[in-house]
Amino acid sequence: MRGPVRNAGYLFAGEAASRIFGFLTTAVLARRLGVDGFGEVGFAAAVMAYGVVSTDLGLVTVGTRSVARDRSQARELVGSVLPLRLLLGLVAAAVMVLIAVVLPKPASVKWLLLLYSLAVIAQSLLIEWVFIGSEKMGFVSVSRVVTNCAYFALTLVLVRDSEAILSVPIAFTIATLLGVLVLFVNYVPRFGLPRFRLGCLRWRELIRPAWPIGAASLLTQVHVNIGLVLLGLIATFQQTGIYNSAFRLVFFLMTLDRVFYTVFFPVVSRFVKDRPDRLPELVGTAARIVLALSIPFCVGAAILARPLLETVFSSGYATAYPILRVMVWFVPLSMFNSLAGYTLLAVGRERRFLSNTAIGVGTAVVLNFAAVPLAGSLGAALALVAGELVLLALMGRDLLSAVRPKLDLRVLAPIAAVSAMAIVVFLLRDMNLVGCIGFGALTYSVFILLLRGITADDIGLARNG
């Protein structure tokens, strides 16, 4: 049990700490920039996200899978992947500069896009995937904590009010480079200095198996950020800022998804290679874990949406509570999609993964173009969740054709536990927010343990398999 549990523990602790700092940074920005400025930053950061994912092209996922199967490949892969990703980052940054020049938006938005293009280049230098593939998650956690802690500190110092809005991407880029430095300092003693290999032939060999995954990642990013981008283009930045507040709370909860798929992918890749007979048991157990982890957060956030927004961002963002109540259901849908999608990638079904993602994202884009002009921020939230639901239906279908998850009646335990929790939270919703959350968490924990929703055997499966 020790290996996967230790990795999950490192990742969860590191991701939780880094997301807490990120969460605090978001709260500071929301209060100091105001709703309009927060909307401008949210719009520019969403465009940057497209640039960041363009530096991937599936190389990170394929690199993770390759290192998980044979750790001796790490040094050679870094020498080839890193310069290719840097080149892609430079291209993506150039495209962002072009967008900034031609986009009919205020000068502050143009400058935000220009400065965020530097962050795209910095992100292309990250080598987290080497440590993830070799299941050394502690270094990944340290890097993320350093990055987000530095970003928070720089934000506190540099961003005093809305006049300092351009300091936001500068702080983010500096923090990212610090995270890059942490990873390289820990990489060299374990794998040696990378031997950089430049050449179209080698790059084509890398891109050939990776591009379907990269295209799917780009489409996924389109899906996640299309609402924010559309609001920034056709609505006011005030509406964009209101939407961004709910979006950032959900993004904070997506820590669960990031930890899950980062731990799950190397494990399921190993099972496919070494223990395919136990793959149904692994996938079934992972499904129960996803349900047990995600549902309580969604139910709690839906009940306490208004006080959460007021406490974190200020009363000016309280009108986002209907958006949050809809958008929070993206979390469990995304986690189940990670379960199904990364299982398909582990068994080599990259093209099915891509086609499913294309259909799901296409649906979400169409829904956004219809819903945002009609219903604004709430329409964007509805389109986000509906698109993820379509994607889950497609991924689930193909998962069942590859693996039949082994499930039992314990899959109902999280539902029973969260029902008890919901009653407690609803009855105590008018009391102190921290106390209400604490009593809800305690109720859920007691019931999930009594009903054996998650056991030590479930967690130990990853190692014993």
pLDDT at res. 67: 78
- On average, the pLDDT of the chain sits at 85
142: three-class secondary structure by DSSP: helix
- Start-end of H helices in 328-432: 330-346, 350-402, 413-427
- What does the alpha-carbon distance between residue 23 and residue 42 come to, in Å, rounded to a whole number? 14
pLDDT at res. 90: 94
Q: Let me know how long the chain is.
A: 465
Q: What is the pLDDT of residues 222-245, one digit of tens each?
A: 888 888 889 988 888 888 899 989
- What does the alpha-carbon distance between residue 320 and residue 305 come to, in Å, rounded to a whole number? 8
Phi, psi torsion values for 369, nearest 5 degrees = -65, -25
pTM score of the predicted model:
0.75
Phi, psi torsion values for 274, nearest 5 degrees = -100, -35
pLDDT at res. 2: 46
Q: What is the pLDDT of residues 350-388, one digit of tens each?
A: 788 888 888 888 898 899 999 999 888 999 999 999 999
CA-wise closest residue to 402 among 346, 464, 461: 346
Buried/exposed code over 27-47 (b: 16+ C-beta within 10 A; e: otherwise): bebbebbbbbbbbbbbbbbbb
- What does the alpha-carbon distance between residue 77 and residue 59 come to, in Å, rounded to a whole number? 10
Range of lowest pLDDT (56-60, 281-285, 345-349):
56-60
Q: What is the pLDDT of residues 443-455, one digit of tens each?
A: 999 998 888 777 6
pLDDT at res. 457: 63
Is residue 296 over pLDDT 60? yes
Residues 6+ apart with CB under 8 A from 213: 58, 61, 62, 345, 350, 353, 354
Q: What is the pLDDT of residues 120-169, one digit of tens each?
A: 999 999 888 788 777 677 788 888 889 999 999 999 999 988 889 999 99
Contact 309, 317 (CB under 8 A): yes
- What does the alpha-carbon distance between residue 246 and residue 442 come to, in Å, rounded to a whole number? 25
Is residue 220 over pLDDT 80? no
Q: What is the pLDDT of residues 87-96, one digit of tens each?
A: 999 999 999 9
pLDDT at res. 459: 60
- What does the alpha-carbon distance between residue 275 and residue 376 come to, in Å, rounded to a whole number? 49
Buried/exposed code over 87-120 (b: 16+ C-beta within 10 A; e: otherwise): ebbeebbebbeebbeeeebeebbbebbbbbbbbb
Mean pLDDT of 292-298: 90
Burial tier of 384 (Cβ tally within 10 Å: 0-12, 13-18, 19+)? buried
Q: Which two tokens stand for residue 319?
A: 């009108």
Q: What is the pLDDT of residues 156-215, one digit of tens each?
A: 999 988 889 999 999 999 999 999 999 999 888 887 777 777 666 667 777 776 677 777
Residue 58's Cα: distance from chain center in Å? 15
- What does the alpha-carbon distance between residue 117 and residue 154 come to, in Å, rounded to a whole number? 19
CA-wise closest residue to 217 among 351, 15, 54, 373: 54
Neighbours of 185 (CB within 10 A): 12
- What does the alpha-carbon distance between residue 260 and residue 279 come to, in Å, rounded to a whole number? 17
pLDDT at res. 1: 40
pLDDT at res. 354: 80
Residues 6+ apart with CB under 8 A from 276: none
Using CA atoms of 203, 206, 208, 214 in order, give the dihedral in degrees to the nearest 10: -110
| DSSP class per residue in 284-310 | HHHHHHHHHHHHHHHHHHHHTHHHHHH
Give the C-alpha distances (Å, rounded to integers) separating 196 from 83, 192, 202, 384. 7, 12, 11, 40
